Amino acid sequence: MLNQARRAVPTKNGFGRAVLHQLWGPDRGEASDTAQAACHTLALAGAAADTDRIVLQYPEKHYAFWKAELVEFVHLFGPGGFAENLSTSGLDENEVCIGDTIRLGSALLQVSEPVEPGFLLNARFNHPSIARMICESKRTGWHYRIVEHGQFQVGDELVIMERPHPEWPIARVLHFLHQETANRQALEELLKLKPLGRVTRELFQRRFDDLKPEFDQLDALPVRPVAEPEILSPVERSGNDVWRSVLVRGIMIESPAVRSFYLVSAQGGRLPKSKPGAHLKVKLPNGLTRHYSLCSNSLGDEYHIAVGRNPDSAGGSACLHEQVKVGDILHITDPINTFPVDAETEHHILIAGGIGITPFLSMIDYFERSFISYELHFCTRSAKDTPFYRRLSCLPANRITFHHSSGDLRNRIDLNAVLSDLDPDAHIYCCGPTGLMRAVEGATSKFDRKRVHFESFGAAATAQNAFSVKLESSGQVFLVGPDQTILQVLRDNHVDVDSQCESGSCGTCIVKYSQGEVLHKDFVLTADERKSCLTVCVSRAASDHLTLTL
């Protein structure tokens, strides 16, 4: 359910009020203290253009914010600086709603839509990001259409006389314009909002039309069962893992090679909540266990995972694509988070390749709802091959860049350009094919390792050599075969080593070694750390023997 806006408290003269401080005519000349038939003049000026955008109002109090935020442009931040016709005290984007009818002097105006700042403001301030900053701050101002022509002057009160849609303040419309851009319920409600201006309505309509194929697929899914709010689904224990039974409620095609799966508790209880970047271990019908990222943050009603069809699959993706059907039972662990969002960071750079987009979907949802700055760089072969393309295409252009290679190496992402001139506190996250991750690892080699995060679920290529590992504390010696990992052999011999991702991304299974040469395959250790440590889940010995300090 979408949050409802707080209804304004009516006064004896209306719902709210402000005072007109300054006024500009359509020629954007000097401020005027009087306005003989000003509304009529503005109406004639705008009649040939857009009648939903005859008058622009901007709250005077916002200028203090901009002067403090952008000190170098302080001389430009004054009434009239945002091309407004009306500069007022009182009322802002949180208080004014779409459809509000406002009395100003003898004129009657109706709020039609938010202002969409554009390149002209960027040019005026000689700053490429002013328009974006205005949108993100929700200090845009709003447009009026004229209901009744009349006269008004500086000092007149603006009084909200009618409020047919208190649930749609300007700030909330801006949220769905620039943050939750693919929220279906909001799009449907906004398209039914009759007073909404034509330009904004058409923008929401285009988004809805672009997303309709995805919405149609969702409509075709079986109805999700309602779970008891406080009752968790039962678990079964097997080895070190706790497993829950889930039912495949629905399957969606996200691209020619990617399918997503909607999972609900098989027993009707709720599932544990998840956080951005989390993944599940999934036990498949063929007995294999694989790791899959959650595509959304779950409150416990269901989980959503996506799986890319790997032509060289050892049985994991092939099983899910070819064998698993709606109604089947799978077994999953509770959410595991080895790829968390850094809570203290103000800007995040996400670099995804192919199916590596999945952990970023939950991060983006979190960033958008929390108004946290981020940018996504998504590398795929083409738009057709891009999973979740419709949803991601609705994000603001400054948030996402698609890098479509079309099979040409020259079209691949330019990491030097992406990672240049970064804020020193920005964090970088990467998930995708090994080649992309190694490239990002190389491009960030001089960065503080705490700022760079990797997630990999693909099996690391194994060196076709057998070697022995010796435990320094006990003297025990174990043979590691060509198709085994050190971690597997240690577990088989009852040597307890903590692990989570088992893909060299999280660093949970780091172990020190004292003798031997290591073939490192992780994404977490620095060059200095690799001189004495290894990740036993993916790294191997490049020598015949390896001594672990266990």
How many other β-carbons are positioned within 10 Å of the β-carbon of residue 543? 14
Is there a single domain that holds both residue 56 and residue 182? Answer: yes
pLDDT at 44 over 50: no
Q: How far apart are CA 520 and CA 165, in angstroms?
A: 61
In a domain, 275, yes or no: yes
DSSP 3-state of 142: strand
Q: Is residue 522 part of a domain?
A: yes
User: Quick one: 374 and 327 in the same domain?
Assistant: no
Tell me the C-alpha distance between 359 and 279, whole Å: 8
Q: Are residues 483 and 515 in the same domain?
A: yes
How far apart, in whole angstroms, are the C-alpha atoms of residue 269 and residue 244? 10
CB within 8 Å of 299: residues ≥ 6 apart: 273
516-540: average pLDDT: 88
| Segment among 210-219, 313-322, 348-357, 540-549 with least mean pLDDT | 313-322
Whether residues 186 and 320 fall in one domain: no
Choose the final residue of a domain: 285, 300, 332: 332
* Tokens at 296, concatenated: 């959304």
The residue ranking higher by pLDDT, 244 or 32, is: 244
| Strands 452-455 vs 427-431: parallel, antiparallel or unpaired | parallel
pLDDT value at position 45?
A: 40
Same domain (yes/no): 54, 178: yes
Identify the CATH number of the domain in which residue 277 sits: 2.40.30.10
Taking residue 357's Cβ as centre, other Cβ atoms within 10 Å add up to: 28
| % residues pLDDT > 70 (the chain) | 88
Alpha-carbon gap, residue 473 to 496, rounded angstroms: 14
What does 74-120 look like in DSSP terms, one character per residue?
GGG-STTTT--SEEEES--TTT-BTT-EEEETTEEEEEEEE----HH
Inside any domain, residue 342: no
pLDDT of 72 higher than 90: no
Q: What would the pLDDT profile of 313-324 be if each residue is shown by its tens digit?
A: 667 888 999 999
**d(Cα 6, Cα 526) in Å, to the nearest integer?**
52
Cα distance between residue 118 and residue 200, in whole Å: 14
Q: Give the C-alpha separation, 543 to 115, whole Å.
A: 66
Res 269: pLDDT: 85
Beta strand pairing status for 101-104 and 86-89? unpaired
Residue at 95: amino acid letter: E
Residues 125 and 271 in one domain: no
Which pLDDT band holds residue 127 (cuts at 50, 70, 90)?
A: confident
Same domain, 123 and 77: yes
- Number of structural domains (the chain) is 4
Judge contact between 216 and 399, C-beta under 8 A. Answer: no
Q: Is 292 helix (H, G, I), strand (E, B) or coil?
A: strand
Q: Please check whether residue 152 is in contact with residue 20, taking contact to mean a CB–CB distance below 8 angstroms.
A: yes
Please tell me whether the overall predicted TM-score, pTM, comes out greater than 0.85 for this model.
no
One domain for residues 31 and 69: yes
Which residue carries 């390749």 as its tokens?
A: 353
- In this prediction, residues 201-210 reach a mean pLDDT of 94
pLDDT in tens, 225-272: 776 666 778 888 876 788 999 999 999 999 999 999 999 999 888 899
Written as six digits, the tokens of 70 are 């952008």
79 and 197 in a single domain? The answer is: yes
Question: What's the mean per-residue pLDDT of the chain?
Answer: 84
Domain shared by 507 and 376, yes or no: no
Q: Residue 437: inside a domain, yes or no? A: yes
Would residue 510 count as lying in a domain? yes
Q: Residue 214: inside a domain, yes or no? A: no
Residue that is last in its domain, among 332, 367, 395: 332
Secondary structure percentages of the chain, helix, strand, coil, to 5: 25, 30, 45
Q: Give exposure, 175-188, as e/b (b: 16+ Cβ within 10 Å).
A: bbbbbbbbbeebbe
Question: Radius of gyration of the chain from Cα atoms?
Answer: 29
Could you tell me the two tokens for 444?
């960030």
Task: Tell me the CATH number at 110.
Answer: 2.40.33.20
CATH code for the domain of 542: 3.10.20.30
13 pLDDT above the threshold of 70? no
**Cβ–Cβ under 8 Å, residues 493 and 474:** no
pLDDT at 34: 37
| 108 has a pLDDT exceeding 80 | yes
CATH code for position 419 = 3.40.50.80
Cα angle 215-112-187, degrees, rounded to a multiple of 5:
10
Mapping DSSP onto H, E and C, the string for 345-360 reads CCEEEEEEEHHHHHHH
Q: Which residues pair with 280 in a beta bridge?
A: 292
Q: Give dist(CA 190, CA 99) in Å, integer.
A: 12
Same domain for 527 and 431?
Answer: no
Q: For the beta carbon of residue 425, count every other beta carbon within 10 angstroms.
A: 12
Among 408, 429, 455, the domain-final residue is: 455
Range of the domain at 434: 347-455
Q: What is the pLDDT of residue 10?
A: 44
* Average pLDDT of span 86-115: 92
Together in a domain, 315 and 364: no
Q: Band the pLDDT of 534: cuts 50, 70, 90.
A: very high
- Residue 519 pairs in a beta bridge with 540
- Average pLDDT rounded to a whole number, residues 127-132: 77
Tell me what the mean pLDDT of segment 91-96 comes to: 92
d(CA 282, CA 244): 10
- Please, which contacts does 412-417 make with residues 24 or more away whose CB atoms are closer than 8 Å? 412/379, 413/351, 413/377, 413/379, 415/351, 415/439, 415/440, 415/443, 416/443
Residue at 4 is within a domain? no
Residue 227 lies in a domain: no
User: What confidence tens digit (pLDDT) does each residue in 451-500 have?
Assistant: 999 988 654 444 468 899 999 999 999 999 888 899 989 988 989 888 87
Q: What are the pLDDT digits (tens) for 440-458? A: 988 998 888 889 999 886 5
Note the pLDDT of residue 20.
67
Output the CA–CA distances (angstroms, integers) from residue 20 to 28, 157, 202, 225, 427, in the order listed. 17, 6, 31, 54, 45
Helical H segments across 253-394, by residue range: 316-322, 358-370, 389-393
Q: How is residue 384 written in tokens?
A: 């057709």
Asked if residue 378 lies in contact with residue 403, where contact means CB atoms within 8 angstroms, the answer is: yes
* pLDDT number for residue 250: 92
pLDDT for 521 = 85
Chain centroid to CA 455: 17
Per-residue pLDDT band for 122 (boundaries 50, 70, 90) equals: confident
CB 97 within 8 A of CB 171: no
319 neighbors 344 (Cβ within 8 angstroms): no
Amino acid residing at 485: T
What pLDDT is recorded for position 274? 95
